[in-house]
Amino acid sequence: MGIREFTFDEFCYKLCDKLYLPNLPDHSQSTGYHLLKKMVIEDIEPVSLEEMKRWESNPTFEEKATIPDIKYLRFLHQNLRPVIIEYWCFIKKMKI
């Protein structure tokens, strides 16, 4: 099964280290699952890896003083962030 054939939930379960658990009701799913789903529904594109690294190593004063924007994927494990950025063009087209 290619990534283009996955539904959003299948992608989150199989390729995102069980970010989604099929045996749990929607309200019991992880915060990461709900925020990633929100990004897809609202068409919020994640920042590039370069911008993420800049934000982590040299944030502006305003960025330091505020809660990180959802597009920086801070709600996901650091190893999962590059996967989401790399496959975003496919993720945003998945059936929710």
pLDDT at 1: 61
Spatial CA neighbour of 92 closest among 43, 19, 35: 43
Q: Are 40 and 92 in contact (CB under 8 A)?
A: yes
pLDDT at 21: 95
pTM over the 0.75 mark: yes
Residues of the chain with pLDDT under 50: none
Instruction: Domain ranges for the chain, please list them.
Output: 3-91
User: How far is residue 21's CA from residue 18's CA, in Å, rounded to a whole number?
Assistant: 6
Spatial CA neighbour of 82 closest among 40, 47, 35: 47
User: How far is residue 81's CA from residue 49's CA, in Å, rounded to a whole number?
Assistant: 9
pLDDT at 34: 97
